[in-house]
Each structure stands twice: as structure tokens, then as C-alpha cells.
Amino acid sequence: MPTDQILIEGLIFEVQQGDALDFSFAAGSQRGTVAGGVNTDRLTSVLSSAGGSFGIFNGDVLGLSVRALKTNSHSKILSVPRILTLSGQKGSISVGQNVPFITGRVTGESANVNNPFQTIERQNVGISMSVFPVAMAGGNIVLDITSKADSLSSSTQASDVITNQRSIATTVNLRDGQTLLLGGLTDYKNTSQDSGVPFLSKIPLIGLLFSSRSDSNEESTLYVLVKATIVRAL
């Protein structure tokens, strides 16, 4: 007997602190109205809530969100994965870099000082999503989902590589065609930048008079939208 398949459509994005997406504008509708089956006020409210964010929506939430993100300069689409898998089977997708991490080093008498022996382990760093959907009776879908968004910190040496990791894992029950919103994972970045007058800023003692340092704090929140649709077997 043929087995049903399930199409998983995702949208992984991040929004900077204090920024709000205007979904009603993206939908060409007024605030509080239903656009394409989506209550724009409710979707905006969930995204703006403090702490973890979650919700289940009907309608074209994915299309609405992509349009809103494209018109917002303070948001960034990280990935738009699409996975088609059999009911009861795992599906996964990933995109990123295969980064070397130094896990060991031998120097001194047991190794050439100019060319020390090193052991390196490579790990994937980037965006990934894995799903395990099961089509149930009555058009219900039990969805087990894990989504990760890893990135490299500012480092140039493999021995000092630091990764920033954000992940979401959950199991939910959806109706055929519904969209799940998960989020609230906030990342904080502190950066410092030095600037100054060439040559003069390098003079000992008085160089400080011709240079300055600016510090900035960035805060971004990760969200994941996932739509599950049953593709019936013929």
C-alpha cells in the first residue's frame, strides 16, 4: 500500500532588537484584518512577545513572512528549506561550512618544533533542519523537528575557533497545511572598533588624543516557521 508523503516548508530568520515586522503592510491589508487566512495582528503579537515565542497558524504565513522580511532592513532570512519525506521517515537538510577544529597538539622533544603534530576534527557549522513527520488519521500530523543555526565568531586560528549555537527541538501536533512558529532565541554581540588619525594616533602618550574607540551592542532573535502539508499517495 502506498505511503503518504509530507512536504515540510521552512523559513529560518532573525530580527534585530526592538524591530517589528509589519505583516499587514506586506499583505496589503489593514491592521487586525485577516489576509490570506492569517490574522496579521496575532502574528505580529506573537513575534513581539518577550521570551520564547510559539504559535500555530492557518493561511499563507510563509509567503506573508517572506514579503515582510524583504521589506525590512533590520531582519535577515537565514534559510528557506524544503523537505519532502515519507510519513514515518526522517528528512534533513543543511547548508554551511566544514570547519577544522584543533583537538590536540604535540610539541617539544617528541615533535618537530617548527612543524608540531596536530590533530584536527572537522565539524559542520551553518543552518540545518531535521524533521520526522507522521501522518495520522483525520488529517493530523505529528511533527518532530530540530533546527540549528550555528555561526563562527570573529577568529582566524583553528585553535581559537568559537561557534555561536542556537537550536530548537520539539514535537508538535499540526493539522494538514498549518504553520508552526517557534522562536525567542536571542543572541548578544558586543563589538569594539578603534579609529584615529593616521600616524598621529600611533604616537606614544599623545596618540590617545587622536584616536577613539566605539563600542556597540547588537541583539538579534531567531525564529523558525514550519509548514507541514500531506501529499496523498495515489
3-state secondary structure 47-108: HHCCCCEEEEECCCHHHHHHHHHHCCCCEEEEECCEEEEECCCCEEEEEEEEEEEEEEEECH
Distance CA 149, CA 186 (A): 12
Is 114 among the domain residues?
no
Is residue 115 assigned to a domain? no
Q: Which pLDDT belongs to residue 42?
A: 60
Domain count, the chain: 1
Q: What is the pLDDT of residues 178-215, one digit of tens each?
A: 988 887 777 766 666 677 777 777 787 777 777 777 66
Tell me if 99 is assigned to some domain.
no
Rounded to two decimals, the pTM is 0.69
> Do the Cβ atoms of 25 and 41 come closer than 8 Å?
no
What range defines the domain where residue 27 resides?
5-94+128-231
